[in-house]
Structure 1
C-alpha cells in the first residue's frame, strides 16, 4: 500500500512524529508510506519449487518510487519464523545510520514483530535496490528496485523516455537459503550457481514491451550472490546515462559489465524491425559461463526472437577494466540540486588520510574465513551503533582494524575503524587474489579515481582521474589489481564497509567505519529513533524521549 502527499497538515505531521519518530524530517518534503508483509512462499524461478521470501506476496519485492528529498516511511512486518532486516543499497541515510538495516546498526525484526524505517532520499537521484541483510535471506528473495527521480524543475540530460523499466539480475541457487547457510557454516564453499535470473524469472520468463521508434530507460542492478554479469540487447545498443546517482557521459555500448551490488541506467531505442529480441545476461570470469535471457517485445511484433544469441566477453579482464575507465561524469548535467555536477572539484581537495584495504582468504580454527587487513569480522550480539550510543563496553573496540595491510595470518575481531567527520580520505582497495572483488560502503558516495593491474604504489597517483570520474557507492577490484577512491566523510554514523560477494561478506570480509563528530549535535546526526529495537546488552533500555 502506498500513499503520497506533497504537503501534510501540521496535526498529521505531529501524529506521525509521535508514532514513528519522523519529527526531525523536513516537513516541506513529500512523504511516501509503505506497509510491507514479509512471508515465505513457493517460488519456481528455475523450474524447481523453492521456499522464497516474499514482500507483499511478490518476488522480487515491490518497487519503491520516489523523488529527490522524499521521505520514505516503510513499515515492515516480519511474518517469517526467523529474524529479518532490510537494507537499502545506495540510499545514503544522511545523518541517520539508525535506519541502515544491517546488523551492525539495527536489531533484527523478530518473528511476529514490525519495524518502521523512516528515511529521506536527501539530495539523491538514481537507481538502487533493497535487500535482506541477515544470513542467506538474499538467496531466497526479499529484494526489489528503488528509483529516485529528479524533481520536476531540475533538468535531466536526455529527453524523457517512453518508459522506465527495472531489470534485477544475478546468479541463483536451487538450494534453499537455510541449506546454503549450513554449507558455508560447515566450512565449505558454495557450489557453482545453478543459473541466472532476470526479475525473478529464468530463461525467456520475463518480457519488456516497447513501441517501435521509442526510447526506454532500463535500470539494471546485479542483485546476485557471487558473480559479475554482462548484459546485452540483441540487435540494439545501450547508451549509459546514470551510475548509482551520477549522470554520465552518454557513451554507447553493445554489452555492459555489471558487478555485484552495482546499479546503472541505460537508454535503449527500439529502432529495429518489429519483432522480438533477446536480452542476454551471462556470467563474467567464470568457467563454465551461465547465461539467461529475457525478451524485448515490440508491441506490434508477430515474430519470435531470432538466433543466434549475441555473444559477449568471457574472461577478458582488460576489456572490462577499459570499459570501467570509460565511465565519466557528465560535468554539464545538473545533479539532485540545481547546480552542475562538476561544481564539486573532488580532485582539488586535500587528502587528510590514506587507508589501504587488502582482502584475503584465510583458514581460522580449521574453517574457511575471509578478511580485510587480516581481520575477519564477527558480529556482536549488540548492534555496534546501539552499543556506541549507550557507551556499552566490551562490544567493540575502536581502531580494531589497521589502516594498512599486515599480510599476517587472519584472526577474528568485531572490527571498527574510527574516522573524523569532514575528513577527506583516499581508500586503496588491493586485490592479490584471482577473482574480481566488489566493495560497497553504506551511507556514502565516493569518487573512483583510479584502477589498474599489479601492485599499487605512490607513483600510481599520477594515473588518477581527478577531473571527471563518476561518484558511486559500489566499485569492483579486478584480479591481481587495485582500485582507488576519494571519499568525503560528510555523513556521521556507523557505516558498513563490505564485500558484495555474499559468501565473503558472511565469512568476515567487512568492517564498520565509525564517522564521529565532536559536536555531538543533531545538526550532524539524528538521535536514536523512538521506535528503535533494542537487543543484546541494550535490552530493557529506553530510547531518548522527545
Structure 2
C-alpha cells in the first residue's frame, strides 16, 4: 500500500494511528491494495479576513482562506483529520464526492454528528471511480458565509486517456457572492425570520477586484476549474479577448464546445481550456451576477509572462437577466460519448435513455411563511433537523427520530409546514425526478451521493408530454442542476448507492431555512457489498450517544 502525505504532513505516530483507523473501518471490505492513501491534517480556526476591504471573522483551515486544495487521483483514499478549534460544532461536506456505500462520511447533519469544539474527526473517503472538479464546504450553522471551503481535483489514473492534451497548468477559480457581515450576524437575521437582502460583492478565490493573477505563456493552453461556492447568486464568467473550450462538467467529459461566456449556477463546477493566443497583455477574467436587477462584478488578471501592460479596450460585458440565453447554453452542454471516464471504457457505454424508469418523483420549491417567519420548502415541507442524525437513527434502529414518507413524492401545493422530511426509495431502481419551479427566481438543486443525467429542461409546467423532448442520448451526467423561473428540469438517476442522502437547494439561505430533505435509498440487504458498516471512529450524538460502533453487519 502506497501512502502520500499532503498539506501539512502528520507525524509518523499519527500516520500509524490513522492507518489503524482505516484498517479497522474497512476490515472485510474490499479496498484495492494499489489505491494510494493521501493524508491531510486540518485545523479549523477563526481568523480576521478582509475580502471586501472590511474586517470580518472568517473560517480558516490551516490558516488559509479559502482552505487548502485537495489533489487526488481516481480511487485514491483520502484520510482527512479535522480539528475543530472553533467555539461551536463544525462539519465539512464534500460537494460531488459520491461516498460509495458510505453516507456516514457525507458531512451533513442528517448523516454525521458534528465535530464538537476542541474535538476532532477523521474523514475516511475514497474518490471511487470519479474524475473531475469538486469542492468542499462547511455544512452547519451558516458557516459557509465565513469561508471554510476549498477546491478538489480528481485526476485520471495513468494510462486512462483524457480527451485533450495535458494543459500547461491547472488553475482553480472558486467564485461566489459575499456579505460583509459576519456569519453569526447573518444567521441571526435568518433565525429571526428575515431575509438577507442583496450580497455586498463577489469574490474569486477569497479576494475582490483584481486580487488574483494567473500567469500564462504565449501559445500555451491552460485548464481553469470554476466552481460557484457562493450563497445566493448565479454567476457568469468570461475571459477578456479569449474564448473558453468546455471540457468537463462535475465529473463528466463534455463535447468541447466553445463559449465566450459561461453561466455557473450555485453549487456547479466546470472545467474550461483557455489558450493564450492573443497579443501579450494583461487581460481581465470577469465574473458578474446573473438574473439580478443590480449587477455585481469582480475580476482577476490573466497575465501574459511577456506582458506589455494592460490590454486595450473595455472589459467584456456579459448577459444579465436573459433566461432564454442561459437555457439555450445549458441545453448545448453534451456528454462526450467517446471519452473515457475514470475506467477504461467510454462514458457513453451506459445507455441511460434505454432503461425504463420505475418511478417519477416531482419536487416543487416554495417560500411559505410559517409561524410568522420566512421559511422555504419542498413539496410544502420545510425541513427541521432532528435531535439525532437520521443515518445514525436508522442504523441503530432508534425510533421517533424521523418518519419515512414524511414528504410526498408529488407537489401538494398546500400550506407549508415543518417536519424532518425523509423519502424512501428502493435500491437499484431507476427513477425520474422532475424539479418544478413556480417562483420568479432561478433555483439550483444538488443530490449528495449521486450523479444524474439532466435529460430535459424548459419553461412552463411539466407534463408527461414533456418527455417527448428529452435528450436520451448524450445528456451530461452531473450532480447539480439549475431550474429557471416558472420552469422545470428533469433528471434520470440509477439508485445504486445505498444510504441516507441529502437533497437540497444550493441557495444557502433556502437550504438553511428548510428547502432540503433526505432520500433514503433502502435495501433489506445487510451485506457490506451494498453498504459499509458504521466507521469505528464515528462520532455519536443525540440519542445515539453511548452506542457501540463495532460493525453490526455480517
1:34 equivalenced with 2:40 (yes/no): yes
Distance (Å, rounded) in 2 between the aligned partners of 1:376 and 1:392: 23
> Structure 1's 112 and 19: CA in aligned 2 closer, same or farther, altered over 3 A?
farther
SS of the residue corresponding to residue 363 of structure 2 reads strand
Instruction: Select which of 334, 339, 343 maps to 1:337.
Output: 343
- Find the counterpart in structure 2 of residue 8 from structure 1: none
- Measure the CA separation in 1 of the matches of 2:114 and 2:122: 12
- 1:44 and 1:307, CA in 2 relative to 1: closer, same or farther beyond 3 A? farther
Question: For 1:20 and 1:107, how far apart are their aligned partners in 2?
Answer: 20
Q: Does the C-alpha gap of structure 1 residues 305 and 330 become closer, same or farther in structure 2, counting only changes over 3 Å?
A: same
Question: What are the residue-to-residue correspondences of 1:28-107 with 2, within 5 Å?
Answer: 28-107=34-113
- Shift of residue 440, structure 1, vs aligned partner: 0.1
* Rounded Cα–Cα distance in structure 2 between residues aligned with 1:286 and 1:20: 51
Structure 1, residues 332-357: CA drift from partner, whole Å, max 9, x if none? 10000100111000000010010000
Tell me the secondary structure at the aligned position of residue 468 of structure 1: coil
Measure how far apart 1:28 and its partner are.
Answer: 2.4
Report the Cα offset of residue 199 of structure 1: 0.4
- Normalising by structure 1, what TM-score? 0.97
Change in Cα spacing, 1:318 to 1:79, as seen in structure 2 (3 Å) is: same
**Deviation of the 1:307 alpha carbon:** 3.8
SS at match of 2:301: strand
1:211 & 1:180 partners in 2: Cα distance? Answer: 43
User: Which residue number corresponds to residue 540 of structure 1?
Assistant: 546
SS of 1:531's equivalent? coil
- Hey, what's the Cα distance between the residues in 2 that align with 1:28 and 1:236? 41
SS in 1 for 2:375: strand
Counterpart position of 2:257: 251
User: Is the Cα–Cα contact under 8 Å of residues 127 and 146 in structure 1 kept in the other structure?
Assistant: yes
Following the alignment from structure 2 to structure 1, what is the Cα–Cα distance between the partners of residues 441 and 536? Answer: 44
**2:236 — aligned with what?**
230
Q: Does the aligned pair in 1 maintain the 2:534–2:551 contact within 8 Å?
A: no
Q: Which among 390, 393, 397 is matched to residue 384 of structure 1?
A: 390
Equivalenced residues, count: 542
Q: How far off is 1:491 after superposition? A: 0.1
Alpha-carbon distance in structure 1 between the residues aligned to 2:298 and 2:95: 24
The CA distance in 2 between the partners of 1:541 and 1:81, in whole Å, is 26
Deviations 1:313-368 (A, max 9, x none): 01100000000000000011000010011100000001001000000010110101
Shift of 1:300: 1.1
Residue 544 of structure 1 deviates from its aligned partner by 1.6
1:3 aligns with 2:5: yes
Question: Normalising by structure 2, what TM-score?
Answer: 0.96
Q: Is the 8 A contact 1:422 1:490 kept in 2?
A: yes
1:296 aligns with 2:302: yes
Partner of 1:328: 334
Q: Deviations over 1:166-201 (max 9, x none)?
A: 000010000000000000110100021000000000
SS of structure 2 residue aligned to 1:161: coil
Query: What secondary structure does 1:117 align onto?
Result: strand
Alignment RMSD (CA, Å): 1.7
Q: 1:123 aligns with which of 121, 126, 129?
A: 129
Q: Which string of whole-angstrom CA distances, capped at 9 and with x for unpartnered residues, describes residues 4-31 of structure 1? A: 79xxxxx969952467724444332110
Q: Report the alpha carbon displacement of residue 434 of structure 1 after superposing the two structures with TM.
A: 0.1
The residue that corresponds to 1:151 in the other structure is 157
Contact 1:13 1:27 in 2 (8 A): no
Structure-2 change in CA distance of 1:294 and 1:434 (3 Å) = same
Residue in 1 that maps onto 2:25: 21
Shift of 1:287: 1.4
Is the aligned partner of 1:206 residue 2:208?
no
Aligned to 1:504: 510
Say yes or no: does 1:437 pair with 2:443.
yes
Corresponding position of 1:317: 323
1:480 corresponds to which residue? 486
Quick one: distance in 1 between partners of 2:133 and 2:257? Answer: 18
Check the 8 A contact 1:277/1:304 in 2, yes or no: yes
Residues 223-255 of structure 1: per-residue CA shift (max 9 Å, x gap): 000000000000000000000011000000000
C-alpha contact 1:212 1:270 (8 A) present in aligned 2: yes
Q: Distance in 1 between matches of 2:115 and 2:127?
A: 23
Unpaired stretches in structure 2, ≥5 consecutive residues? 10-14
Relative to structure 1, the CA distance from residue 19 to residue 337 in structure 2 (aligned partners, 3 Å threshold; closer, same or farther) is closer
Aligned to 2:187: 181
1:270 matched to 2:272? The reply is no
Deviation at residue 265 of structure 1 after TM alignment: 0.1
Question: Which residue of structure 2 lines up, in the alignment, with residue 372 of structure 1?
Answer: 378
Tell me how far 1:136 sits from its aligned partner. 1.1
Change in 2 beyond 3 A, CA 1:129/1:14:
closer
2:533 touches 2:551 (CA, 8 Å); kept in 1?
Answer: no
Partner SS, residue 498 of structure 1 = strand
